[in-house]
Each structure stands twice: as C-alpha cells, then as structure tokens.
Copies of this chain bind each other. A is one copy, B any other.
Amino acid sequence: MAIPSSESSRQDNTLAVIRALRSQGPMARVDLGASNDISSATVTAITTELLGQALVSELPPGMHRDNGRGRPKTLIQLNPDAVFVVCVKLSINEVQIVVGDFVGQVRHSELHSLATLALTQEELCAFLVDKIEALSSQLRDTYSRFAGICLAVQGIVSPHNGTIIWSPALRFRNAPISSRLAAVFGCPVLLENDANCIARSLASQPEYAAYPHMVVIMLGYGIGMSVLIDGQPFIGANGSAAELGHSKYEPGGALCSCGRRGCIEAYVGDYALYREARTMLSLPAGDSAHPSEEQMQALTQLAMRGDPVARQIFGKAGRALGYGIANVMALFNPDLVLITGAGVRGYPAMRSEVEQAIDDALVEELIGLTRVATCPWDRDMTCLGGIAMTLHATDPATLSAPSSLLRLQD
C-alpha cells in the first residue's frame, strides 16, 4: 500500500506540485511556489526532475494571455498520458471499468453485466484480472505507466487490510481482493466505499471548496452516506462508519432490508417508498421489492403532480430523512449536507417535511450554520472520484522507478 507518508520534504513538495497542477490546471513556477509555500528555486528543481520523467511538460508560449510587463510566465502542465489508473465500480450484477489519465479525466469506460451474487471470490478475481489485463495491454501504447487500481464497492470495506468485509453485491465475505490484484499487477490497489468516491468527486468541485466538513447523502434503493472531515472520508475503526441508512428513525418501526426495524432506509429507500405505494396506487408492474428506474419515475411523477397518497408517502419519508439529518447535524456538525443519488428526483416532494423535521428536532444552536442542499445525480461520479483518489494517493517516487511500468508477463 504505497500511500505516500510525509517522508522526505522533497517528496511532499513534489506531490504538492502535482496535486496543484491537477486541481488548478497549468501554472507557472512562481505560482506553484506561492500556492504551496515553496521557494521558486525549489520549484525549479522539482519541475526539472518532473520534466525529465516526462510527467509534466511546458506549455508553448503564446497559448495563454499574459498581459502585463516582465518576462512572461512559462506554464507547466501535467502530461495526461504519463500515467493511467483504473477504477472498477462493483455493483449488484454490474461491473463498470473506467480508465483515467494523469489529470483525472475519464478516457475509457466499459460496462459489464455479471451475476455478481453468484460468483466465488476466485471467479470475481479472475474476471477483474482478465478485464484489466485486456485494457492495459491495449493502453500500453498510449500511456507510459500504470499507477494504480481503485475498487469502488458498495458495502463495508476495511481500509487496513484491504478486504471487502461485506457487500450487498457479493455472496462471500472478508475477501482480500485488493492484495490479490496488487500482486498480479504490481501496483497499489485502493479499496473504497462507493459513497466515499462520490463524495470525493463532489468535494473536488470548486463550488464546494468552502465546505471542508461535508456530508453527502445518496438516496436510492438504499441510503448511502459519506462524511468528509477536512475533505477526507471518515471511515471509522473498521470501515463501517457513516451508515445513515441503518441509523434509527423510530424504535420498532418499519421493517428494513437489513432485517431490523425503524431504520431510515426503511422509510426513504426506493423499495420502502414503493412498498407503501403499491398497495394504494396503480403503478407499473414489476418486482415491487426492487423497483426499476421506470417504476420509481412513475411514483415520483405522481407525487410531483400532487397526488395526495403519493405526497403523503414522500412526506413521511421526508420526515424520517429529516430526523436522520438532524442526528447527523447533532453528531457531526457539518458545514454542508448535500443530498444526491438517483433518489434526489423525489426530493422536491419531501423537502418541506425534511426541513420541518430538522426544525422540530433541533434547537438553532445545533443546526448552527449547517446548510442542506441537493445536487443532480450522475452515475459516473463514482468512478471519477475513484480515479481522483487513486491519483491523489499516487507517489511520484514510485512513478519514476521502472518497476511501475507494465509487467503483466510474470
């Protein structure tokens, strides 16, 4: 697990330069120095090194407006093709594999249908090795180095030993997948919860830069959450923190998919909404325990158009969600609670109840300056976040070593 610690000062500074270039785009040496508190002499040293490794290049002059006197700035940019990383998103019956370049852009994406719940650990491993190997032999021409893999999975994931402790997509438990991939490909493998990937992707957007303590709630079949503390996902002792979906709304309340009662998810999850609705409303046919996007759209439309029964269902969900958010506010005191996920489509129909519930639950002091906002849903955010996290964790020192070049032969 080559996550760069603060070993040498030079390492830190090199990393800081690369990250600044990634998040802020091409920059001149002076500005790199200023924004990272490094003398420009040091920046020169670092950039010469990076130019030598072809990790960055100088932007040809004249490309950018440089109004003002004095010697014009020479902008440095990351070389997109210097490095590639792979992010694998593992969901129920679906595996998405995405390739990202050194600047964090998605360069390739493929979707595989796969009966994940029927797989053994070996079969999953073999599948992933196969697909990633195929990709990398293809990409070998374009990119110089293969810097890492991110496995974004639903469920509980242990950060320490890189095992999938539990996932709704898999039959088996405590799978040391990440070390097995690391052994095959000889590169670091990040194992991440999918919600944390999404949150990291959102947090890197400039509009959320002012919120270091951000909570992202993902509405969907279940309820996911990621808590960013100073921009870092909070995972707890064993990776099972931030389980908002199974925190409680009412003791002994509605039955949850986990088998317990009164979980927030049992009121707000897609299946919970549909469960309430199907008995009272005429809705598209289908597996009502696992409503499809179309089914949910239909239900949402009803509520949006003012159907009283549908409105009441969403209102009740909103109340449960609001109480859940109130607990999150009381316990985490975030700057911002951001609501997203496929289920945001129905949020307008719950909004007033959510807000009312928060006000009912908490005194002003505990709501404090916390804002609640929504954000449109985009399926690709998971992999974007996974790519960002993998690149963020990439140690420039290992990139220079030839050992990180592709070596799938062994």
Bound form: Cα–Cα A103–B175 in Å: 46
Bound form: Cα–Cα A370–B361 in Å: 28
When the two chains form their complex, are residues A363 and B251 in contact, meaning their CB atoms are under 8 A apart? no
Given contacts A249-B251, A251-B323, 19 further A-B contacts (CB under 8 A): A213-B236, A227-B331, A235-B333, A237-B335, A237-B368, A238-B333, A238-B368, A238-B369, A240-B330, A243-B333, A244-B331, A246-B362, A251-B357, A251-B361, A252-B360, A260-B360, A260-B362, A327-B327, A327-B331
Quick one: closest B residue to A320, CB to CB? Answer: B251
When the two chains form their complex, are residues A246 and B363 in contact, meaning their CB atoms are under 8 A apart? yes
A361/B248 contact (C-beta < 8 A), A237-B369, A332-B241 known: yes
Which of B240, B250, B330 touches A251 (beta carbons < 8 Å)?
B250
Bound form: Cα–Cα A250–B326 in Å: 12
When the two chains form their complex, are residues B234 and A327 in contact, meaning their CB atoms are under 8 A apart? no
Let me know if A328 is at the binding interface, CB within 8 A.
Answer: yes
When the two chains form their complex, are residues A237 and B370 in contact, meaning their CB atoms are under 8 A apart? yes
Let me know if A95 is at the binding interface, CB within 8 A.
Answer: no
Let me know if A262 is at the binding interface, CB within 8 A.
Answer: yes
Let me know if A229 is at the binding interface, CB within 8 A.
Answer: yes
Let me know if A282 is at the binding interface, CB within 8 A.
Answer: no
Collect the chain B residues with CB atoms within 8 Å of residue A319's CB. 251
Using a Cβ–Cβ cut-off of 8 Å, how many residues does chain A contribute to the interface with B?
53
Question: How many whole Å from A103's CB to the nearest CB in chain B?
Answer: 29
Bound form: Cα–Cα A366–B156 in Å: 9
Quick one: closest B residue to A245, CB to CB? Answer: B330
Interface centre among A166, A319, A331, A370 (most CB of B within 10 A): A331
Let me know if A346 is at the binding interface, CB within 8 A.
Answer: no
Bound form: Cα–Cα A260–B330 in Å: 13
When the two chains form their complex, are residues A363 and B262 in contact, meaning their CB atoms are under 8 A apart? no
Which of B239, B251, B357, B362 touches A333 (beta carbons < 8 Å)?
B239
Let me know if A259 is at the binding interface, CB within 8 A.
Answer: yes
Quick one: closest B residue to A155, CB to CB? Answer: B365
Let me know if A272 is at the binding interface, CB within 8 A.
Answer: no
Collect the chain B residues with CB atoms within 8 Å of residue A269's CB. none
Quick one: closest B residue to A249, CB to CB? Answer: B251
Collect the chain B residues with CB atoms within 8 Å of residue A251's CB. 249-250, 319, 323, 357, 360-361
When the two chains form their complex, are residues B361 and A262 in contact, meaning their CB atoms are under 8 A apart? yes
**Chain A 305-333 residues near chain B, CB threshold 8 A:** 319, 323, 326-328, 330-333
Let me know if A6 is at the binding interface, CB within 8 A.
Answer: yes
Jot down 13 A-B pairs with beta carbons below 8 A, ordered by A: A9-B9, A165-B365, A213-B237, A229-B229, A236-B334, A241-B333, A242-B331, A243-B331, A244-B331, A248-B326, A251-B319, A260-B361, A262-B361
